Structure 1
Amino acid sequence: MTIEETLLSWEKETYSRIYALTKEALENAREEHDIVKQKYCAQYFDVSVNTLKEWVIHGCPEIRLDSGMVLYSKSAVRKWLLGYQK
Structure 2
Amino acid sequence: MYSLEETLQQWRKEEFQAALEMMEQAIEVNMQKNEIMKQQDCAEFFNISTNTLLSWVRNGAPEIRLESGMPLYNVKSIQAWLMEHEH
**Structure 1 length-normalised TM:** 0.67
Shift of 1:43: 0.7
Shift of 1:26: 4.5
Shift of 1:29: 1.9
Runs of at least 5 residues in structure 1 that lack an aligned partner in the other structure: 1-17
- Output the amino acid matched with 2:77: A
Matches within 5 A, 1:48-59: 48-59=49-60
Partner of 1:11: none
**Structure 2 length-normalised TM:** 0.67
- Output the amino acid matched with 1:29: N
Runs of at least 5 residues in structure 2 that lack an aligned partner in the other structure: 1-17
Identity fraction in percent = 41
CA RMSD of aligned residues (A): 2.1
Q: How many residues align?
A: 69
Q: For the Cα contact (< 8 Å) 2:31–2:45, is it kept in 1?
A: no
Shift of 1:28: 3.0
- Output the amino acid matched with 1:34: E
- The 3-state SS of whatever aligns with 1:60 is coil
